[in-house]
Amino acid sequence: MMGGTQGGMGKALAVMAGAWLLSISTAQADDDLAAAQKQFVTSCGTCHVVDPKAGPRQGPNLAGLVGREAGTYPGYKYSAALANAGFTWDADNLDKWITNAQAFRPGSTMPYRQADPAKRARIIAYLKSLSVQK
């Protein structure tokens, strides 16, 4: 009987520990997403919105960007460099774009550049959180 009780307590402790670890990782994910959103607003929010119901600003609306074909947001007039790009936005393309849009797609009009890979990663993480993955 003792062995059964100890086994039951061990399982209960394991479940409690798992729940505790899950709450920590969920809180960490929430903190990471909040930092990612803050980075997006700081770096990109002047020219871009991410509200699916809003129109474009100086740049296109970035709601649902990850997984979308480049240069296809309705109602935004893209440069020829993006209108005819022929690629889909993913983390790798976004990283190249945010690093230096003109080097990635010569003739593009986005002036913003971000040299810091950690800041780029936060921006990309935020955009991915807003996109439906296909």
Number of helical H runs and strand E runs in the chain = 5, 0
Of 111, 122, 118, the closest CA to residue 46 belongs to 111
For residue 3, pLDDT over 60 is answered with: no
For residue 35, pLDDT over 60 is answered with: yes
Average pLDDT in the 107-131 region? Answer: 94
Average pLDDT in the 70-87 region? Answer: 93
Q: Where is average pLDDT lowest: 28-37, 46-55, 103-112?
A: 28-37
Average pLDDT in the 47-63 region? Answer: 93
Q: Is the dihedral of CA 124, 126, 130, 132 positive or negative?
A: positive
Pick 49 or 12 by higher pLDDT: 49
Single pTM value for the model? 0.75
